[in-house]
Structure 1
Amino acid sequence: MATTTPFHLVRLGCLAIFLCLAAALPSHSSSSPHVPRYFRRYPVSPRNISVATIQRELGPTLSQGSTIFGPENPGFANATHRFSLLSPPGVQIVVIPAHESDVSEIVKYCVHNTIEFLAYNRGHGSTTSLGKFKGLQINMQLLNNITIAADKKSAMLQGGTYNDQVMRTLWDQGYVTMTGSTDCVGVMGPALGGGHGRYEGMYGLISDNFLQLNVVLADGSAMAVDAKSDPDLWWALQGAGHNFAIVTSLKMRIFPRQVDSWHYHSYYWTGDQLETVFKAMNAFHRSDNGTTPPRMGVNAGAVVMNSTISATEASLYWSFTYAGPAAEAEALLAPFFGSIPNAGEESGDVPYPDLSAAQRVDAAHGGCNSGTYATSSILMRDYNVTAQRRAYDSFNVWAARYPDLGRRARYYYEGYATKAVHEVDDAATAYPHRDETHIVYFSTGVPEGSDLLGPATEWAKATWDIWVEGEDPVRPKIYVNYAKGHSYETTEAIYGYEPWRLEKLRRLKAKYDPQNRFGYYVPIVSK
């Protein structure tokens, strides 16, 4: 004869079995967080990430060729190498995805396990906000394919590509596109902040040439974004993109290269020529009407101690580049050649990808060296000659006071031909500073093991104050990719003073990244 057990005893029996199973599981604590997900009431934030556990759990979901490793791996230092050592992110584990689809799996895993994640390409992000990160780094180095479309009007670049690679690959096949100017820097880092470069007079910012972005959002979902599919997210990705997504690949415009070489002409001037140089520079750019010759790409200047010119005073260095023959370039550069006595000059004609070396921003000239740097920067429309004289005199004072800093110090000047940048509606993208034609940047390296970081930081701020007073001390403007996380760098200065801009960015941030997982690179919302 069959018997039955009262229902309340069945429930108690099931509960007893559950408790026995639970007792056999690892402790549900931050030091041992890997309770199977279906037994977790809430996500667990681990204090220390176990490489072995992530290899076991995440590894099987990734494509062949993907790797997962921690600090004990010989490749860890190279995989986490950074330009700035001042406030580096706390990377506990590195995952190198072999395919774009892996990025989505990695982010989903991190979200499910409450592990912070950070995308990495070439390590040139140097804002101190990165120092707040601790968790898993997604290294994009294997996502480096470049594919030219059949119609020869666009190319698909994966998220791990970098400037020199893109410039050379396209140039060799007869094309160019907008990238940054320093060859070792990744394409996507600058691009998500707008992205300046030598071709912007002709083609606009890097982000102005986006056609489609394949992204992974903060919840791990993957999607293709363009101007029609999601206009709001598309707008945000063009100027504030670091706060919204990881780009696994992008489709962007390419153009026939038109010329076989670029002409460059570099000058060295002594400090007594400073006023003459900057007045000529303002006339050259004619920023009041935006008629800087579009083919005259970025001209890169510097104030620097050069012992071959003077042992006690800084000198000026300036390098101009032109997308065309020497005769055309020299006609435009007549105000500088011969009219201003110089202490030396160099000129030549090189293929476009070789300009980085000609302008001394390549790896061989220290353009990719790691170190601890004290920096500050500001955007300008014109050069305030009086402010530049004050800054120059201040440079000499500080360099004499701290020779170890003075030998490493630079004022950098980036002047752009911006015709195509100005042709884009200012409200069309999140990039807020289309009226500014120059980036001015201070940097000094701090010797390893020295106690000079404090003075170096003071020097950076003192220089910034001089530049700001020469512009608009109430509304200074800062290029997001050069922002360093200083207390005086306001969100408005970086992302725009128009109230509607920040309102829109914060509204979109709440929609696409409500947990602020993309909050480590010049954040819109504090982490």
Structure 2
Amino acid sequence: MVRLLSFTAGCLVLLHALVAGSPLHTELPRYFQANPLTRRNLMVNTVENELGPHLSKGSLIFGSSNAAYANLTSYWITYIQPDFEVIVEVAAESDISKVVRYCSDNSIDFLVRNRGHGITSSLNSFKGLQISMDKLQGLQIDAASQTVLLQGGVYAGPVIADLWDNGWVTSTGAAYCVGLVGLSLGGGHGRLEGLHGLVADGIVHFNLVLANGNEIGVNATSNADLFWALKGAGHNFGVVTSYRAKIYPKSTQTWHYHSYVWTGDKLEAVFEALNDLHTKDNGTTPVLMSFETGIIAIDLSISDTEPVLSWSFAYNGPAADAEALLEPFNAIGAASENVQDVPYPDIALLQGTGEQNGTCSDGPYIHSTDLLIKYNVTAQRQLYNQFVQKITQYPDLKFSARYAHEGYSNKAVQAIPSDSTAYPHRESNIIVYFLAAAAPGSSDQAPAKTWAQEARALWIGNDKPQTYVNYASGNSYESLQSVYGYEPWRLNRLRGLKAKYDPHNRFRYYEPIISN
């Protein structure tokens, strides 16, 4: 016993020497350092003093008193309100690992924000430090390898314009205001997926910071298991500081745009034609008929009691080829039409998904969503009748409520094996969602939520619900299986990778695989 006590005392003396910085060792290794308790109330001055000297010139640390705070904490759906006590706006990609390591060492919860388009309520559970990537806008084209290196703060509009001016295109989302990193981590639907797959499918390398602050490269040969996970469930595993993606020579100078407005009596004809379009090419959508999008909503120029169907089509090529495919829609008879041919960077503005369009404006939106393989025409009529009934019952929702539809060309998406990435819904290329503006606490909030759930139930019918992770609401009726796939092996594999790469579950705020 005496010998054991002597040995223990000797160890304590040695440890004290390490802590004190004796000649035996000048710094306590990180794996011996104690993690302090989570800081309940972060102070800007404390973070500035402790972290600030280690960051690049131009990085900023501030709180709610700074004029930039409101812009860097706003979200597209204003119901999403994480509690950001301190913001660190990094000026260099290398700063992110330093911030993450600092947070990890001090048990500070952190959340990365790019453009604020996350719409899942799970974000509301966050309180802590924000890492803003707004300043990381780097874009480097490598023509020899036909790839582009994109930093974590980039978003679709400027990337599309820059590449187009240099003779290239790459896969992005349809909305030009949305950040590319967050989109890609959930798969990423967009106008070029019929030719090149989802946004994630075109990524060949991720630069990633893990929860402990370590920087790693992730690709098909390095951390290949994590490469699989980042493509569809990536929000759960790390901070992507930049990624390298495939680029393609632009194949046409103009895209063809054709929009229609149909009255409600044409609904069945429209959705039957849409179903035919999406199976026209051996069961898939013609690859160049890139994107059809439509809303069912009130248009006062036609009626103030019955919604209309406003639809548009984007074709990656000549007008004559597009119009041959659109002939069934031309035959339906529209109340109004608009036809244009424009360069690719301009197509989003026409289709309502440009930076200047209402799609990119924030608001108190309540929503629900599902993924479809085809439109159920009977359900679409029920939804239309539901719309008429609801706005009669709740007139304050008349001008903000809408059913929205996105249909993508899907050939290249379906050509990629389903088990090759974490994204689980490759067979479904139609996204539907309900939106209505209802301010928190208003009398419209409860009926809007009820309407959202009822609309989703009609879309789903007897099928298993499928939730596109980038459109997920985080509501209790969205199961993890609906988001990450019903095959048991998918969630099992993701949870195993979570234990390996993020054992303390630091990344748990966006549709978390494992909740604390």
Q: TM-score range by the shorter chain?
A: over 0.9
Identical aligned residues as a percent: 50
Instruction: Select which of 348, 367, 385 maps to 1:356.
Output: 348
Counterpart of 2:263 in structure 1 is 270
8 Å Cα contact 1:404/1:447 also seen in 2 = no
Picking from 173, 180, 187, the partner of 1:187 is 180
Secondary structure of the equivalent of 1:214? strand
**Other-structure match for 2:391:** 399
The total of aligned residue pairs comes to: 494
Structure 2 counterparts to residues 302-451 of structure 1, below 5 A: 302-337=295-330, 339-447=331-439, 450-451=442-443
CA distance, structure 1, for counterparts of residue 163 and residue 103 of structure 2 = 36
Q: State the Cα RMSD in Å.
A: 2.0
TM norm structure 2? 0.93
Q: Residue 67 of structure 1 is aligned with which of 60, 65, 84?
A: 60
**1:226 maps to what in 2?**
219
Asked if the contact 2:51/2:99 (under 8 Å) is kept, the reply is yes
How far did residue 165 of structure 1 move? 1.0
Q: What is the Cα deviation at residue 344 of structure 1?
A: 0.6
Residue 243 of structure 1 contacts residue 518 of structure 1 at CA under 8 Å; is this kept in 2? yes
SS at match of 1:220: coil
Q: Report the CA distance between 1:450 and its aligned residue.
A: 2.3
Q: Deviations over 1:230-251 (max 9, x none)?
A: 1110000000000111100000
- For the structure 1 residues 219 and 287, does the alpha-carbon distance in structure 2 shift closer, same or farther, using more than 3 Å as the test? farther
Q: Does 1:46 align with 2:35?
A: no
Contact residue 65 and residue 97 of structure 1 kept, 8 A: yes
Tell me if structure 1 keeps the 8 A contact 2:220–2:227: yes
Distance in structure 2 (CA, Å) of the matches to 1:399 and 1:524: 37
Give the structure 1 partner of residue 195 of structure 2.
Answer: 202
d(CA) in 2 for partners of 1:378 and 1:114? 37
Label 1:87 to 1:79 Cα distance change in 2 as closer, same or farther (>3 A). Answer: closer
Describe how 1:60-99 pairs up with structure 2 within 5 A: 60-99=53-92
Mapped partners of 2:336, 2:133: distance in 1 = 42
Deviations 1:196-247 (A, max 9, x none): 0000000000000011000101111111110111111000000000011110
Alignment partner of 2:493 out of 504, 514, 518: 504
Aligned to 2:511: 522
Note the alpha carbon deviations across 1:8-64, whole angstroms, 9 max, x for none: 9xx9xx99xx9xxxxxxxxxxxxxxxxxx9998542211110100100000011111
Contact 2:35-2:106 within 8 A present in 1 as well: no
Q: Distance in 1 between matches of 2:281 and 2:168?
A: 32
Q: Shift of residue 164 of structure 1?
A: 0.1
Contact 1:287-1:382 at 8 Å conserved across structures:
no
CA distance in 2, matches of 1:80, 1:355: 29
Equivalent position amino acid for 2:454 in 1: A
Deviations 1:342-365 (A, max 9, x none): 111111011111111100122433
Residue in 2 that maps onto 1:454: 446
Q: 1:27 matched to which residue of 2?
A: none
Report if the CA contact (8 A) 2:157-2:355 is conserved: no
Per the alignment, residue 134 of structure 1 pairs with: 127
Matches within 5 A, 1:95-244: 95-151=88-144, 153-244=146-237
* Corresponding residue number in structure 2 for 1:23: none
Q: CA deviation at 1:455?
A: 1.1
Which whole-Å CA distance do the structure 2 matches of 1:436 and 1:382 have between them? 8
SS of corresponding position for 2:327: coil
Distance 1:198 1:39, change over 3 A: closer
3-state secondary structure, aligned to 1:58 = helix
Equivalent of residue 468 in structure 1, options 460, 470, 475: 460
Aligned: 1:254 with 2:247: yes
C-alpha separation in 2, matches of 1:384 and 1:137 = 42
In structure 2, the gaps of 5 or more residues are: 1-5, 17-29
